[in-house]
């Protein structure tokens, strides 16, 4: 709950977007016009309380195996994985010890039990769970961590505190997010920006164009979305402990979806010979949230309404966030 309150200091939930999850689904079955003009009825009785299961404290990863897709498909043949998703382990505070807190935290927020009781590192290879930094890069990460709670220079402020996009892969364990699909594209809607996966076979952008969320080209192999990621600007951090890559990073992603649509496993091979001694793999488990779940202000940031006063089909309205630069403790109060 403390994290949720802190979050409210970081970002103002300004309003809700209009009907888009349902409108998008309706677009695929030819009901877009009727869905777009329906005004939801929101009453105090129909608003769920801002609570729900705190699945981010799952202590084990659920790995979905690669295989055939037997679930529903969209009209263009893509596996239908649209909806609201979130990681199941923890937020972005600590990349290699997700439930371990941030070393040196002046607020004294303790780790969740002993290391053996907490979720494993998001680094699934090497086996020690550590990012294989080159010595200079490890020193840079440690320097960031040393000054994170006393940011005497702008470079020690996490870019997300300035409302920059969270980047790859942090967007997948920052807040919940939505996946939408269109012919030729998969779109991720994060609270810190949007990422488009191109499925149309177009080549990557020219090498000199660098983006916070990089450039992504993908295709489907059975139940797995395979994505090649280049053109990263190298400015985002993986966590508040300062883990990072450079703009030379090349990321090869797999999004492996369960056929019942309940979960997926994110795996990514990260290669950056200017920063690391060898390629390494990150694994992030995720689960789907539906209208059956209660909004919780973190993983499932939505309002659940109904089409009519009698209570019909639930309408999921995603919260829209407006980031406030240098807000509260997240930006450490540094004004640069």
What is the rounded CA–CA span in Å between residue 102 and residue 243?
A: 12
Phi/psi at 244 (nearest 5 deg)? -160, 170
What is the rounded CA–CA span in Å between residue 255 and residue 223?
A: 8
What are the average pLDDT values for consecutive 10-residue runs of the chain, which has 336 residues?
A: 40 34 28 33 38 63 95 97 94 91 81 89 97 98 92 88 91 94 96 94 96 97 98 95 97 98 97 98 95 86 76 80 64 50
What is the rounded CA–CA span in Å between residue 124 and residue 61?
A: 11
pLDDT at res. 15: 33
128: its two tokens: 């020690």
Q: What is the pTM of this model?
A: 0.82
Nearest alpha-carbon partner for 58 in 96, 94, 95, 98 = 98
Phi/psi at 289 (nearest 5 deg)? -110, 140
76: its two tokens: 């263009």
CB 179 within 8 A of CB 83: yes
pLDDT at res. 108: 73
Torsion of CA 293, 298, 299, 304, to 10 degrees: 40
Cβ neighbours of 68 (radius 10 Å)? 9
> Which residue carries 């009785």 as its tokens?
45
């Amino acid at each position: 709950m403390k994290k949720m309150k802190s979050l409210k200091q970081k970002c103002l939930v300004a309003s809700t977007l209009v009907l888009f999850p349902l409108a998008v689904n309706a677009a695929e079955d030819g009901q877009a016009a009727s869905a777009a003009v329906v005004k939801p009825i929101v009453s105090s009785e129909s608003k769920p309380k801002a609570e729900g299961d705190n699945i981010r404290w799952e202590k084990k990863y659920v790995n979905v195996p690669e295989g055939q897709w037997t679930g529903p498909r969209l009209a263009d043949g893509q596996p239908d994985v649209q909806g609201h998703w979130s990681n199941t382990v923890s937020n972005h505070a600590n990349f290699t010890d997700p439930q371990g807190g941030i070393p040196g935290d002046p607020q004294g927020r303790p780790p969740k039990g002993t290391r053996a009781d907490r979720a494993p590192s998001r680094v699934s290879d090497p086996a020690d769970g550590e990012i294989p930094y080159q010595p200079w890069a490890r020193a840079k990460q440690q320097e960031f961590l040393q000054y994170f709670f006393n940011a005497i220079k702008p470079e020690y402020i996490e870019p997300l505190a300035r409302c920059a996009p969270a980047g790859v892969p942090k967007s997948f364990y920052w807040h919940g997010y939505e996946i939408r699909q269109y012919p030729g594209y998969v779109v991720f809607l994060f609270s810190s920006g949007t990422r488009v996966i191109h499925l149309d076979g177009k080549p990557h952008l020219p090498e000199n164009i660098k983006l916070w969320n990089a450039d992504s080209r993908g295709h489907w192999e059975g139940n797995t979305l395979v994505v090649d990621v280049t053109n990263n600007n190298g400015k985002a951090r993986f966590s508040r402990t300062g883990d990072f890559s450079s703009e030379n990073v090349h990321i090869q992603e797999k999004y492996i979806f369960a056929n019942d649509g309940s979960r997926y496993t994110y795996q990514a091979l990260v290669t950056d010979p200017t920063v690391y001694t060898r390629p390494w793999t990150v694994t992030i488990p995720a689960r789907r949230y539906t209208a059956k779940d209660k909004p919780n202000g973190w993983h499932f940031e939505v309002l659940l309404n109904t089409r009519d006063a009698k209570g019909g089909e639930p309408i999921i309205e995603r919260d829209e966030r407006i980031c406030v630069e240098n807000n509260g403790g997240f930006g450490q109060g540094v004004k640069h």
